[in-house]
Structure 1
Amino acid sequence: MNKKLVRILKISIPLLLGIFLIWYSLSSSTPQEREQLWQSIIDANKFWILVSFLLGTISHFSRAYRWKFMLEPMGYESTQANRFMAVMAAYLANFGIPRSGEVLRAVTLSTYEGVPFEKGFGTIISERVADLLILMLIIGIALIFQTDDLLAYLQDQNINPLNTFLIFLSLVGIIILGLNIVRRSNWPPFKKIKKLARGLLEGMKSILNMKQKWAFIFHTVFIWTLYLLMFFVIRLSIPETTDTPAGIIMAAFVVGSFAVSATNGGIGVYPLAVGGVLIFFGVQDHAAEAFGWISWATQTAVVLLFGGLSFILLPLLNSKK
């Protein structure tokens, strides 16, 4: 298949899927249900939405600050402004091409701070591993709070967590096997891959060589605490969800964390997945769906505002570089 066509399909299919889900959700509801949904969004308490917006902004600022702890062991210094703009530009890029943000983030730091791409990308992989561990911890807590109900929801949606875990282990095994083949080969293309892999490994190992490990751990926990808080405060913006138990909100957060990567920026999928969890646990349909849409819109607004500004300001503020 033509490479250009494959690239176009990779970008367009997730986006079209998100748009289709929005259309399907709205078209399958009655005019009265759509009116109730819209009214719930309009009547939502704007103060708590603003609080959620600010919490999201602080979490991204903390993520950019945490990044320096992994760059310093390799001897690279960088400004907080450039790291923050690289993070926000990366999030915005994911709306256009899913998972392209991590590459853009490493390229941005390479361009404006002189950090080799492979080493910068290695640090990003390491921090993603740290984030995954925290997410697994949150999932564990959610299971403790809502074990029976969450498993019932997954079964209702034909989702088998064991299959997901086995697929993940299989992918890890394939990657390890592939790396061993590359490491033992002298084929010229593989030599280039080995050079890239060495840089990535150095970047990934930076997490082990950090002088400020506790600061890194603090910011990792702080980032995910803010993620949870920006999600939880949306509950206070809608009267029907104010008294929803924390365990149910956390279950919706977990499902939303996985749904956000299904399409460009979670468009279509995220609000429907979060709303679906709340509906399953007995929250009124229009309030649950409004919760999902407001949560997604707030997070998206943070990315659109600061990501857009980052694309503009990065070359302007680094013109001498």
Structure 2
Amino acid sequence: MILPILLGVFLIWYSWSQLTSNDILSIKNSFKTANYWWVVLSLVCGVLSHVSRAYRWQFLLEPLGYKPKLANSVMTVLMAYLLNLFVPRSGEFARAASIKKYENIPFEKAFGTIVAERVTDVIMLLIIMGIAFYLQTDLLSSYIFKDDGQSSFYSKIIIFVVLPIIGFATFKSLQKSSNPIIHKLIEFINGLLDGVKSIFSMKKKWKFLFHTLFIWAMYLLMFYVVTFALPETTNLPFGAIIVGFVVGGLSMALTNGGLGSYPIFVASALILYKVDENPARAFGWIMWTAQTIMVILFGGLSFLLIPIYNKYKK
């Protein structure tokens, strides 16, 4: 529980210890000259994604016979994000517990819908990662093979045709295994697939899918609009945007809320696209700082306001 935070603190210390005084001065200058109106627009996109997530949650609760107030759904979602900054995955449990307290929805049912939500989000992340890897193949091939494109073509065939076939064949063979650990793994994968199938059987599946796409579009837009805050990142190609977004998202799993890891991972992705190191670092820190402040601010307000709102509602 404390290790991810310690790792994040270490990464911050290590990354800054490698900088020269000129590097630090350059990064500070990027912070001073950045156009923060783009950062504000990014935060608006973030708020819209959270509201949409709360609204989408109702489509999963409604077939169970529950329709919570949207305000309660929004505040419990924001509280969950805040708690996840300190203890990973604790927010999901707190979200289910909060909606039970204020909307009288059984914890296990609320938590089940949150798991179903996460299954959808994992699939969306995998799709975006697939797009990112597809766009990144050319760049990786040029570094690995020093080739003009032929090796890149074969790399794509391997990644997007051969590996999926091998993966599918392996999954089918493992299904016949009697090993209890493998059996548990197969059950887990089948559970994820069942969760996905249940989405297509719900009454408002198209609205659910629309909000899923909207949420992730807002996530991507949050990242994209901040590129206009610095002149060095203004003209980044779409490939750099989506690769930086995916790399930043994966860093969130390494430390709490991407503490220390997010700026390093994002900067390393932008450097591949010929962005100078110091502006790339500045971009990563501006992006992470803005997101973290938003979560702390709105999550903290939700903790304060949700009991007041429900007392007034009664």
TM-score category, normalised to shorter length: 0.7 to 0.9
Q: Which residue is equivalent to 2:61?
A: 71
Q: Partners of 2:91 and 2:143 in 1: how far apart?
A: 31
Shift of 1:178: 7.9
Q: Partners of 2:57 and 2:182 in 1: how far apart?
A: 25
Q: Which moved more, 1:58-67 or 1:137-146?
A: 137-146
Number of matched pairs? 282
Question: SS at the partner of 2:88?
Answer: coil
Q: Partners of 1:203 and 1:29 in 2: how far apart?
A: 47
Question: SS at the partner of 1:207?
Answer: helix
Q: Which residue is equivalent to 1:46?
A: 36
In the TM superposition, what are the counterparts of 1:85-104 in structure 2 within 5 Å?
85-104=75-94
Give the structure-2-normalised TM-score: 0.82
Matching residue within 270, 278, 303 for 1:278: 270
Question: SS at the partner of 1:211?
Answer: coil
Q: Which residue is equivalent to 2:117?
A: 127
Do structure 1's residue 177 and structure 2's residue 184 form an aligned pair?
Answer: yes
Distance 1:106 1:286, change over 3 A: same
In the TM superposition, what are the counterparts of 1:1-321 in structure 2 within 5 Å?
10=1, 12-150=2-140, 174=181, 177=184, 207-319=199-311
The answer on whether the counterparts of 2:99 and 2:105 sit within 8 Å (CA) in structure 1 is yes
Q: Partners of 1:153 and 1:297 in 2: how far apart?
A: 32
AA matched with 2:44: L
Question: SS at the partner of 1:307?
Answer: helix
Q: Which moved more, 1:143-152 or 1:274-283?
A: 143-152
Q: Partners of 1:151 and 1:264 in 2: how far apart?
A: 32
Deviations 1:122-180 (A, max 9, x none): 111111111111111111222222213257889xxxxxx98xxx9xx89xx84852897
Distance 1:152 1:108, change over 3 A: farther
AA matched with 2:96: A
CA RMSD of aligned residues (A): 2.9
Q: Partners of 2:80 and 2:182 in 1: how far apart?
A: 25
Deviations 1:4-30 (A, max 9, x none): xxxxxx2x2111111111111111110
The answer on whether the counterparts of 1:123 and 1:207 sit within 8 Å (CA) in structure 2 is no
Distance 1:77 1:214, change over 3 A: same
Question: SS at the partner of 1:69?
Answer: helix
Give the structure-1-normalised TM-score: 0.80
Deviations 1:278-314 (A, max 9, x none): 1133210111111111111121122111100011111
Shift of 1:220: 0.1
Distance 1:131 1:25, change over 3 A: same
Distance 1:222 1:38, change over 3 A: same
The answer on whether the counterparts of 1:122 and 1:204 sit within 8 Å (CA) in structure 2 is no
Deviations 1:244-264 (A, max 9, x none): 111012111111111012111
AA matched with 1:259: S
Q: Partners of 1:206 and 1:76 in 2: how far apart?
A: 17
Shift of 1:43: 1.0
Distance 1:240 1:179, change over 3 A: closer
AA matched with 1:61: V
Q: Partners of 2:3 and 2:142 in 1: how far apart?
A: 30
The answer on whether the counterparts of 2:263 and 2:288 sit within 8 Å (CA) in structure 1 is yes
AA matched with 2:251: A
Identity, % of aligned positions: 50
AA matched with 2:66: Y
Structure 1 spans left out of the alignment, 5+ residues: 1-9, 155-160, 181-196
The answer on whether the counterparts of 1:53 and 1:298 sit within 8 Å (CA) in structure 2 is yes
The answer on whether the counterparts of 1:72 and 1:210 sit within 8 Å (CA) in structure 2 is no
Q: Partners of 2:48 and 2:124 in 1: how far apart?
A: 18
Question: SS at the partner of 1:243?
Answer: coil
